[in-house]
Structure 1
Amino acid sequence: MLMVANVLAALVALLHLYFLVLEMFFWTKPLGRKAFGLKADFAEQSKTLAANQGLYNGFLAAGLAWGLMQGAAGAGKPWLAFFLGCVIVAGVFGAATVSRKILFVQAVPAMLALAALMLI
């Protein structure tokens, strides 16, 4: 179960790095606009907000990476549990306020990782 928890937590961290890149660097570009279904004028007007949002996603990824480096079965377990919990809350809130798709893209992978972590 340790390997499953590590792989799932790493996947969640990589997803949040991807979100960081999309939101901070590609928000107004075709890739970012397509990913989020944005019109060019809205993307341009909201790019600083998106960059801020991307930075927060980077903090989530960094926290998960820190926990993984400390070891999921050891000192990293509380770090991973905390940051996976943050991702779950953010995903549920995003699903409730923006799009249900966020639940499946963000919250469900974190829920699976947290469940695997708790089984260690």
Structure 2
Amino acid sequence: MDVVAKIFVALVALIHVYILVLEMFLWRTPRVRKAFGTTPEFAEETAVLAANQGLYNGFLAAGLVFGIVAGGAVGFPVTVFFLACVIIAGLYGAATANKRIIVVQALPAAVALVLTIVAH
């Protein structure tokens, strides 16, 4: 993978690590409630669900990191698969929850995917 593509893939992985932290560990905090537009009651009631979502975001990050580290014939398809998963999740989130998700999640992954394919 080209260095620029790897940087973009790493950026997408970091975004998902950040989401993991927000959803698994900071879900009930005022800052995260404000970012997600939730009330203290809702945050309390949905903390387990948010943690589960956070864990899945961690798996996306882990897959992307694996793809970068493995590189070559193994890393390329893994990276493409996990970037496609991120794009689909971002599009679904934008359609069902918050339109911003398309910019925060799907767009960086789409750019990383194009760069990864071009670099291959």
Q: Which runs of 5+ in 1 are unaligned?
A: none
Bigger Cα displacement from structure 2, 78-87 vs 27-36: 27-36
Find the counterpart in structure 2 of residue 53 from structure 1: 53
Q: CA deviation at 1:74?
A: 4.1
Task: Report percent identity of matched pairs.
Answer: 55
Q: Report the secondary structure of 2:11's partner residue.
A: helix
Distance (Å, rounded) in 2 between the aligned partners of 1:95 and 1:50? 17
How many residues get paired? Answer: 119
Give the alignment's TM-score, normalised by structure 2.
0.95
Following superposition of structure 1 onto structure 2, how do residues 72-91 of structure 1 map, counting pairs within 5 Å? 73-91=72-90
Following superposition of structure 1 onto structure 2, how do residues 105-120 of structure 1 map, counting pairs within 5 Å? 105-120=104-119
- Letter of the 1:31 partner, please give it: R
Distance (Å, rounded) in 2 between the aligned partners of 1:34 and 1:63? 29
Find the counterpart in structure 1 of residue 33 from structure 2: 33
Give the alignment's TM-score, normalised by structure 1.
0.95
- Letter of the 1:48 partner, please give it: V
Bigger Cα displacement from structure 2, 33-42 vs 59-68: 33-42
Q: Report the secondary structure of 2:98's partner residue.
A: coil
Find the counterpart in structure 2 of residue 96 from structure 1: 95
Runs of at least 4 residues of structure 1 off by over 3 A? none
Distance (Å, rounded) in 2 between the aligned partners of 1:39 and 1:5? 39
Instruction: Tell me how large the CA RMSD over aligned residues is.
Output: 1.1
Distance (Å, rounded) in 1 between the aligned partners of 2:25 and 2:99? 24
Find the counterpart in structure 1 of residue 69 from structure 2: 69
